[in-house]
Structure 1
């Protein structure tokens, strides 16, 4: 039988349903909570320098998150988002990539950014939106971006980066580049229309993109079991005709291995792959969220035993690559360095007001220039309401 509909046709003679739970995707686990390997598991081939860079990045992000959430509570920055409990997912996946693979993040992937080389000063400049910020102060905190290290600037609306990643990866293929694009998003963003459009586009046009879904249990306050009844997110990829992997997102060795495998497949076949990371969001959704309103302390404590940093630390110590005493000293040093950098960045001047309209067009159009002129006139009229900006208009 010819098949113009591109669907597999198997003939039956009595009607029968295919159940929604017919496809069960297993979860890759390599590292136990005590730092030992599961029976039959094989650790990926990591050299000591890479393994320690992965660990140092996770620890840096944990300390940065701790310090900057406190800074937000003190009123020093306006907003913050932690990746507490998901450090292994973002760092392990970034470590498996080439430095010129494009990263399109959602907003909880500061681990991938740090692994690529984003400096402490660059983090602070963005968080304080000062004149040294690469984004010229036009983004809210944690909306990072860096052209130099192939990290696309983050957008607030959920899911926008998913079809963009499909298009970018398709362009990589057309240009003959031996690189892929990784696109991070949460399971809540997988409920957006852009998710379905982006995956279908990548599958049909054979774009070498890795879709990395962080299924952390909650879309802000909505638990996963109120978002969908299917077997997570990975099974949706199969429906679009692409390969899928599910991984323990608190197991950095498993995340690294899964991402390395996905990258190799994407480049060898020019086909997309979806990875679903299962790792509980230990912190609040953001500094504006209070998780006590929708989940219990007991639930949080249960998952806290699954800490990705502790698990990986034990494995490194067992291999003789990490000394526990030195590790504690490093954490204290980091706390000092981050606090010192914070104090410097918060005193740096804000960007000039002209940057509100720069980079929109090669040359500001008359309408934008008029709006800027009107704004300056308003500030001059009410200088007491804008004490910092009023003196820097010319």
Structure 2
């Protein structure tokens, strides 16, 4: 059994939440900077310069791999590990990504951002022990199909595999899970408005967590990485990146990953838009959020007028059936340099109306963040 990469499990949690004093839904859902109009046709529009030029829509969404994997690490024997792996697979099926993908697609299609960074885009395979495995659930394919069915097609332009592992889920069957970060761009008509992309890049972090196990001789390593692509839309070009920083282990690993990422993007000849699940709150001054702020990144949520103590994106329990439990903000749209301006920011997937049908799942255990950005030169 390949167990080292099953730390994938940890992508499902984000530590103990601390509920902030705010409105029951985590504060105002959508903010617009002064001099902006409400979004029209899913896009932010600014009228402050008299030209009504459209802002570029960008988004980040951790779509949830489908189950909380941490119970694997509490297994005291290999037999117990197999039992828990089988339970994990069943829990993933119970949260029904086919149904959730429809809810996610509803949210994205209604707003149609030009570029979206996705995290925890799982691929689950299963088959006989020692035999070939077949893909049972490809979260990326399911989501793209739902978007296309709504007349809002997207295409994949960059992706990175984070962790993967194969292990027994019963006495006769094995399964493999692969965690991915993915960048997709809008691909619908008219052709003149489709983003053009180049220089797709992905890389693994040198810093990664190694977690202990109760099973003698077994530990869990957690590879993670990032992807980026240069996007040209309406005459302007920017570099768009997405990542999912480490959720467990020591904060030092997450901080080291943030430093690696900032250094990797520092040489961009274009403005940079950095999205993802950073597992780091705005109060984390010495951690990943503070490191990126120190590297010149601005938070689109607060720049567009969002409540610094609201805009919650994480904390929902894994069954996705409880009430709204979002309690902290760790999913961000960041950008640099100063010539970029956030004119709108919105949290999505946090209202009762956003739940799936017919079961009523939340779209994910995270909410998504969308922003409308204006770039220098009137783009």
TM-score w.r.t. length of structure 1: 0.32
Q: Bigger radius of gyration, 1 or 2? A: 1
TM-score w.r.t. length of structure 2: 0.33
Larger proportion of strand: 2
Larger proportion of helix: 1
